[in-house]
Amino acid sequence: MKIIFNENLAGVKSATDKSNELLKNDEFYKAISDHPNFDLSTASPKIIADLLKKSDLEFKVEIFYPNAFQSIKYRKTFAYTDERFPNTLFLNFKKLDREIEDIAATIIHESIHALDDAEEIYTFGHGNNSPKGKDNTAPYWIGNLTYRILKNNPNAPLLAFDQMEEDNIA
């Protein structure tokens, strides 16, 4: 797999570069393979690691600039994919004020979805967009592995990749 970003935002460019470096790291694949199992997956961690390592998928990152209506609708969204644009990740411009490692983890999390979508035999997503109970699904676990490796901290806090903020309804 290769992550592609052609826009001129230094933080996202750096996160993309870190993601691509990680995708060349054998220890990354070993850590995935050594994981006992993933929830909501018909594939073992070893199969997912092998699929990811052997994938020739090009995953494009684009920036999504929400208009006024979309700012409300997507206020909790770090990123999204759209079946009309396979293998493209749309990062929410309003959610880029985060660590580079966090953005890279989001890119890898979403790339696991792209790999899952391209896979015809196995499934390894996480169901709906609530982060509750998703820590051991392939996209969440591998995204958090990315964050821990890039932060060089095996005890780094877990990230929530979907529906990050609580609704503030008065």
In tens, the pLDDT along 2-18 reads 999 999 999 999 999 99
How far apart (Å, rounded) are the C-alpha atoms in residues 170 and 9?
Answer: 36
Hey, how many other C-beta atoms are within 10 angstroms of the C-beta on 133?
Answer: 12
In a domain, 159, yes or no: no
In a domain, 75, yes or no: yes
In a domain, 160, yes or no: no
Give the range of the structural domain holding residue 81, as residue numbers without chain letter.
2-151
- CB 131, CB 162: distance < 8 Å: yes
- CB 118, CB 1: distance < 8 Å: no
Distance between start and end Cα atoms, the chain:
44
Domain count of the fold of the chain: 1
* Average pLDDT for 96-115: 96
Encode 146-169: b = buried (16+ Cβ within 10 Å), e = exposed.
bbbbbbeeeebeebbbbbeeeeee
In a domain, 165, yes or no: no
* Average pLDDT for 58-75: 80
Query: What global pTM score does this model have?
Result: 0.90
pLDDT tens readout for residues 106-131:
999 999 999 999 999 999 988 776 66
In a domain, 23, yes or no: yes
The CATH number of the domain where 14 resides is what? 3.40.390
In a domain, 43, yes or no: yes
Helices 45-54, 100-118: crossing angle, 10 deg rounding: 100
Beta strands in the chain (DSSP E): 2-5, 58-64, 79-81, 88-92
- Confidence bin at 168 (pLDDT 50/70/90): very low
In a domain, 69, yes or no: yes
* Average pLDDT for 89-98: 93
